[in-house]
Structure 1
């Protein structure tokens, strides 16, 4: 399980670094290639388009070839994508190379959290899956620090991601296949037992967990093929999980986090901030993100997924409303740096410590086994598609409406996110994957149904 956590962490690190490095790199890239806002948006969005494709394709690879071999393929694409970006001859070549890199990012977000959740014991499942989320924060911090130094060429900064990708590949070679996939796809109960015995501590009741998995797999075998995989997503009893998963995925992006990560230096410099100050603020935001990931890692299984989200989202909304007000009233200048930075840091505190924790965690545990790979693929594609839309339109929206008004729009998305979680998302903390699936089958997937049982 330690090695699985390490692989999960490296994949999250690559996600955070590869998406975050473009924030500071865009300042160098625009000078080298002499590009405007439209090409900047295209370069930033290239990785997101690739992520949408990767999340959808890797779902089918997971089902056919297994989680383990799919992750090995993703590692190889991470290495190739990083090096291709570093050697890009022009802006168009860089944008295309980032599509390849994005394939690995999207594939990792679809596959790795699901893989770790299927390996992990129930008691620490949330914390192990959140190693992925925590590492995203670490990757963002590293990316912002590298960008803030301004001494490292953007080519070196982007190409350096090939090193952790190689380490991830070596680590994954030591890991087993998911026991749930072994039973569901091949009926390999004997091999699944060997995997669980290696993963669980001495004295753990492997037979009970194995019987639960095997029983659920037997139910899947007895169902029609139309109820499994992609076709199974049309089943009414699966729909509530898909709605919650995709809704959370969309709101993690609509909350404004990627707007801040990708474009904070650009927004600040466009409004009169020196480039060095803007990059330092970006580093501070990355540090807060990482700290809140660490806090979330330790408290999510104690406080609860739903409760933590409902507590933190209002703070993020208020921070964006206040930040928007500063710009709308003409106070978004260097003279009001403490207030602007305070609002940005407050937003990152509440957003990273709440809603952002749920994006990959819910997807890894909310979907039934028979459709899990397809459902997590749809959820991942929803997240990346929303991210792509935001990245392609943000600078245009700012030009059309103004910085302050755009902050208010994203504040309203946080209000909508709170209402969605309150109405739709049940409390999954302390539930086994099989228990969550049984609630779906019994048509008892509302928040109050989980509170009763």
Structure 2
């Protein structure tokens, strides 16, 4: 793998940083916004969840744009919307316009989550595809940590408006940097621009790599998709594609329904509600964000060795037990000063198991599971599922806590972690080390099951040289 390929992945991952920062900043800023406007818990949910409504729409609609205009130009447009949304949100004069501006910001977040992992996956060598795509998740963690540090360190010092406006700076950097990066070779081949595809591929492969063989494999996949008329949204309804749709969108839904985003958005509000001081609640939020970053970084280092499915199955039980213990503490009223270390410990353990497992593979799975002819539509469906689930979770979290108490709500989320384990066990094959063309062939031959993939070698020699 070349240094330039890493540069492509890191540059594109700025979109992940923006995703993390722009969603995470509301955690600290919401305390100041609520105090300024005297927001009810329902209006707090609206302000927090508005960005997720935009993200759902952005994720759903971006596939067609990416397919029509190319991955690179789509990301350039997304960076411009990021800049516009952050600026508009920072200038909003009232909560309603703030929520509307966050919808615009959400459009860019949803669009980036659809297009950036797919763009990197289509450029990456198969043997390193996992860690390169997971760089997007690590950048999300870095964005969340940055937002938490800003919220803790500058709470009461800087206006919440400045906290939000800071997000426009990396968006402008992404906008400028993307002009220097190549287009996806797969998109170019699909649009009959094979010479350009070869030049783009040459920029991200080491000298002496067999570019012609790789381009030929991509062209064959394009030809099969065209002959089978498996393209776009209609292609997702084909019976042989359905296992990928179930596995991809199911995994996407559970990355949110397990409650991790609720922790990121509402931890300070939740902890204040059970007796923590404001400073302690914000500092705990910084710890949660730091663990998210460290564990996604660890996931990046090991996902191509341990495997996607195995990593999730090893960590989900720990996440479920951590939330069950936290729910027990809340339900028993164990929220006094002597119990604070146990509450914080449960929160931190949950983040260790979730951020280091299922969250690592959420965007990666969408980037590598769909056949080329439906990849844009599939990643759009996946992104919309992520953000729709996130919207459902965030838009109901405070109401759920209000109705069931903090203990009851945590037990609900613990149950959802257990369901996520069963889903991965039943529907998600191990994709470690496989080329995108091998995954598509398994779908066509109806071998896309955990049982069939377990019976085959985890990686083949040719997988190291073909994407």
- Is TM > 0.5 for Structure 1 vs Structure 2? yes
Native 8 Å contact 1:3 1:171 kept in 2: no
1:33 to partner: Cα distance: 1.4
1:203 aligned residue? 208
Alignment of 1:197-236 (within 5 A): 197-224=202-229, 227-236=230-239
- Aligned mates of 1:122, 1:152 — CA distance in 2: 45
1:43 aligned residue? 47
Native 8 Å contact 1:81 1:98 kept in 2: yes
**Any stretches of 5+ residues in structure 1 without a counterpart?**
none
1:353 aligned residue? 356
Alignment of 1:396-411 (within 5 A): 396-411=399-414
- Aligned mates of 1:142, 1:305 — CA distance in 2: 27
1:6 to partner: Cα distance: 2.1
**Any stretches of 5+ residues in structure 2 without a counterpart?**
457-467
The reply on whether 1:162 has 2:168 as its aligned counterpart is: yes
The reply on whether 1:91 has 2:95 as its aligned counterpart is: yes
- Aligned mates of 2:117, 2:95 — CA distance in 1: 33
2:465 aligned residue? none
Q: How many residues align structurally?
A: 450
User: Which deviates more, 339-348 or 31-40?
Assistant: 31-40
- Aligned mates of 2:313, 2:6 — CA distance in 1: 31
Alignment of 1:353-372 (within 5 A): 353-372=356-375
- Aligned mates of 1:219, 1:308 — CA distance in 2: 33
- Aligned mates of 1:334, 1:92 — CA distance in 2: 37
- Aligned mates of 2:117, 2:302 — CA distance in 1: 18
TM-score (norm 1): 0.98
Q: Deviations over 1:105-161 (max 9, x none)?
A: 000000000000001111111111011000000001000111012122110010011
- Aligned mates of 1:335, 1:23 — CA distance in 2: 25
Aligned partner (choices 114, 124, 133) of residue 129 of structure 1: 133
1:189 aligned residue? 194
2:308 aligned residue? 305
1:267 to partner: Cα distance: 0.5
TM-score (norm 2): 0.95
- Aligned mates of 1:303, 1:6 — CA distance in 2: 22
The reply on whether 1:382 has 2:388 as its aligned counterpart is: no
Which aligned segments of 4 or more residues in structure 1 are displaced greater than 3 angstroms?
A: none
- Aligned mates of 2:227, 2:320 — CA distance in 1: 47
Native 8 Å contact 1:59 1:110 kept in 2: yes
Aligned partner (choices 317, 322, 338) of residue 320 of structure 2: 317
Native 8 Å contact 2:13 2:116 kept in 1: no
1:148 aligned residue? 152
Q: 3-state SS of the aligned residue for 2:254?
A: helix
- Aligned mates of 2:247, 2:291 — CA distance in 1: 27
1:18 to partner: Cα distance: 0.4
- Aligned mates of 1:358, 1:255 — CA distance in 2: 14
